Amino acid sequence: MTQPSDKALVPFVSVDNMMRLVHHVGIEQILREIADYIEEDFKRWELFDKTPRVASHSDVGVIELMPTSDGEAYGFKYVNGHPKNTKEGLQTVTAFGLLADVYTGYPVLLSEMTLLTALRTAATSAMVAKHLAPKGSKTMAMIGNGAQSEFQTLAMKAIIGLENVRLYDIDPAATEKCARNLSKMGVNVTKCATPEEAIQGAQILTTCTADKKSATILSDNMVGAGVHINAIGGDCPGKTELAAGILERADVFVEFPEQTRIEGEIQQMADDFPVTEMWEVILGQKPGRRDDKQITLFDGVGFATEDFSALRYIRDRVTGSDFCEELDMLADPDDPRDLFGMVQRSKA
């Protein structure tokens, strides 16, 4: 059997190798490093192709493609969102992604992104909180204690110095799971019986629930002045977590307005509802947090540039290492015009 040429091989990062990499680098360090890559790409915002994700909705969930390019590399992520899956012993979200060279069109990396999406989502939240949360924020309410909750907590610890997390979930088993996983991670954990209890004394309120419906996880009267809301559960049309009254009192920050107006909390508001894009804050073109009384709200739905940043980070981290394997993915005939001849010769 003929061995594939180097041109046929594409580095692949499996789930196992992604977990090995996380342990090798350290969970908090890898979150910091991914956040740095995401922030770097927000500073290059104008270079990127930007389009809302391509979504295929069904009665039970959604399947999406999230593409972008900076002109030199092209990336996309395949991702699903099926809240009913956990009752069947399956993940709500699964994903994989690809990075390619724009000049040749050849893929340069294929990677699992179920774990990587959790890492990049948490890294994005904490990077944004660094710019928007009250200075010295030490306590976060984590409402929704599913697969994302531990990553969110540890990213806030690693990037802004969070010390305390107050957990609430409609399912007490999810809260027990999250508390158990965080018990030796250097953060003080409080299990709460209601969302009202969870937000007591918290400077950051994170909502991350899974149900694909318009819900009121935080009502208007629950949110006082001077907090930062990290609303990351909304990610498709018809799915929200916050009362509209909160949005009316808050300064709202988004990734890409054209996508967030379809999928985020602001889908509840008029098309001209004012928002600030995070890249403008990061570049110093627009203000973030102005005073201690302000309510800042990150309406985070997840955007393709963040996946691009995460894939770019993984490519740089695994190149020349044993954290990836080579897949025979690309046909490489001796004569580029003779693909059929390559097939025929392989029979021998």
Positive or negative: CA dihedral 275, 280, 286, 292: positive
49 catalytic residue (yes or no): no
Contacts of 91 (CB under 8 A, 6+ apart): 85, 114, 147
Alpha carbons 89 and 155: distance in angstroms, whole number: 27
Strand order in the sheet with 62-69: 54-57, 62-69, 73-81, 95-101, 107-112, 9-13, 325-328
- Identity of the residue numbered 25: V
Q: Measuring CA to CA, how many Å separate 348 from each of 5, 211, 331, 339? A: 18, 55, 17, 16
Collapsing DSSP to helix, strand or coil, 182 comes out as helix
Among the options 235, 307, 328, 332, which is catalytic? 235
Element (H, E) at 269: none
Q: How is 102-143 classified by DSSP, letter by letter?
A: TTT--EEEEEE-HHHHHHHHHHHHHHHHHHHSPTT--EEEEE
CA-CA distances (angstroms) from residue 253 to 107, 232, 241, 259, 280?
33, 12, 16, 13, 10
Q: How far is CA 76 from CA 68, 154, 170, in A?
A: 6, 26, 34
List residues with catalytic annotation.
Answer: 235
